Amino acid sequence: MVQRMFELMYEHRGVGLAANQVDLPYRLFITNPKGDPKSGEERVFINPVLRHPRGLVEAEEGCLSIPEVYAPVKRAEKIEIDAYDLNGQSVHLELDGLFARVVQHETDHIDGKLFIDRLSTTAGLDIRESLREFEDEFLAGRERGHIPSDAEIAARWAELENLRT
């Protein structure tokens, strides 16, 4: 499952991917800030907890969930993360720069937030038309049967939850 997540992330030129972005109901995300399977370090974070945010920096972000939409987002410059890796080993890291941004972005995903939820009013207005176009494409995909309904997604998640218990 995790290997397939990395394949999808690289296929779409990403640097992080959360489990719930690919129909998995787990508090898990993957990262490789280099976005290249041949360089950088692939990391898996399970049940992450972010601590001790310091500083504030604004930088442009995009998201595999909303392709081709980018906007400036303010995030902590430095953070600490506690999580588990695939072997069940405890992980504690102090992060800054792009890695800190990616970890915050992906943690937001598993907490039910998107980067657009963190935009200033002005930045939100700047991308409003792009979001409308994305929504129109999404709804058209649903009408054509290429994207499951909310009920189908909920049923799939319930099925996966039952497998875990």
Q: Do the bridges between strand 43-54 and strand 28-31 make them parallel or antiparallel, or are there none, so unpaired?
A: antiparallel
Of the residues 42, 77, 106, 133, which is catalytic?
106
**Predicted model pTM:** 0.88
Judge whether 106 counts as a catalytic residue. yes
Residue 164 lies in a domain: no
Domain count within the chain? 1
Residue 142 lies in a domain: no
121's CB contacts (< 8 A; 6+ apart) are: none
For the chain, the average pLDDT equals: 93
Q: How far, CA to CA in Å, does 37 sit from each of 32, 42, 47, 91, 129?
A: 8, 8, 24, 21, 34
- Following DSSP, what letter does each residue of 19-30 receive, concatenated? GGGGT--SSEEE
Q: Is 93 in a helix, a strand, or coil? A: strand
Residue 140 lies in a domain: no
Q: Is 32 in a helix, a strand, or coil? A: coil
Residue 26 lies in a domain: yes
pLDDT in tens, 58-105: 999 999 999 999 999 999 999 999 999 999 999 999 999 999 999 999
Q: What is the CATH number of the domain that holds 20?
A: 3.90.45.10
Residue 147 lies in a domain: no
Which among 24, 46, 65 has a CA at the least distance from the CA of 157?
A: 24
Per-residue DSSP letter, 77: S
Residue 92 lies in a domain: yes
Residue 45 lies in a domain: yes
Residue 43 lies in a domain: yes
**Segments forming the whole domain that contains residue 55:** 2-123
